[in-house]
Every structure is written in C-alpha cells, then in structure tokens.
Structure 1
Amino acid sequence: MDENVLEQIYQERLEERIIAQIAADRSVSLEKAMDIYYSSELADQIHQGMEGIQYLDYRVLAQLLTEMGGDGKSP
C-alpha cells in the first residue's frame, strides 16, 4: 500500500468515528449525523487536510463541529 491509500483508509475510518460520535452526542440517527457531518465546513477541511486537522482525535473533531455552530458551519 502506498501513502495515499493509507491516508484514504485513515480518513474513511475517521469520518465513520466522527459520525458515530455526533449521533451519540446529539441522540440522532446515523443518517442525520451523516447529514450534519457531510454538510459541514469541517468535513471539507478534513477532506482537504487543512492544517493537519484530520489528525485530531475524532471526539475533539465532533466537539469542534458543535462549537462551529451546531450544524458545522462557522458562525
């Protein structure tokens, strides 16, 4: 496996954990948590690898999403 493949796998697992954490924290379905996550600026930042944000713990990232305005968009 090359570095890009490993990074892609890491990112997919990270997104799964973030979505599960959002669902647990907000008591919403996984479907709703996916909608919250994938419509957020945070998802874009993680996908782009901005400032290494994707290497933060998934629980921290889920909390950041909440702090960004609840729906993941900056206030």
Structure 2
Amino acid sequence: MSEVENSYKESLKEKIIFCLAERKGLELEKAMDIYYNSRLARLIESGAYGIKYLDFRVLTDELEKELTNLKYK
C-alpha cells in the first residue's frame, strides 16, 4: 500500500471516529473503541469492496446501523 493510500485510510478512520462521537455524544475514547471493534473497521482495513472510497458520513451511517443491529441480538 502506498503512503498516500495509508494516509487517506488514516484520515478516513479519524473522520468516522469524530463523526460517530459527535452524533452519539460520545467521548473520543469510546468512539474509537466502537470503531476499532467493528466490522466496518475490518472491511476498511482489508480494502474490501472499495469501501474506503465512500464518504465518511455514509460509512458512519453504516457503523451506526451495525451498532443498532448488535443491540438487538
């Protein structure tokens, strides 16, 4: 992976974490914990389906859906 791609991926992670924290009123530490233990994080890290090229707000929506689904299982 190139340095540009790595930088882009790191920036994407940060944006998702900040967005989740803001939307849910969470401390950054909690938002980071949620993100790094999510299926979304694994998909982004693996580069699956070109998911890392989606807008961070769309990805945060997906993370919120994942959280909602987990609460009902």
TM beyond 0.5: yes
Structure 1, unmatched stretches of 5+, are: none
Q: Using the aligned pairs only, state the percent identity.
A: 44
Aligned twin of 1:41: 39
Query: Can you list the C-alpha shifts for 1:4-35, whole angstroms capped at 9, x where unaligned?
Result: 11100000000000000000010000000000
Does the CA contact (< 8 Å) of 1:36 and 1:71 recur in 2? no
Residue 60 of structure 2, aligned match among 59, 62, 68: 62
Measured in 1, the distance between the counterparts of 2:16 and 2:57 equals 7
* Change over 3 Å in CA distance of 1:71–1:44 after alignment to 2: farther
Moved over 6 A (4+): none
- Write out per-residue CA displacement over residues 16-73 of structure 1, whole angstroms, 9 at most, x where no aligned residue: 000000000100000000000000010000000000000000010000011123487x
Aligned to 1:29: 27
Tell me the matched-pair count.
71
Structure 2: segments with no counterpart, 5+ residues: none
Higher helix share: 2
User: What TM-score do you get using the length of structure 2 for normalisation?
Assistant: 0.89
**Aligned-partner residue type, residue 59 of structure 2:** L
Alignment-mate amino acid for residue 11 of structure 1: K
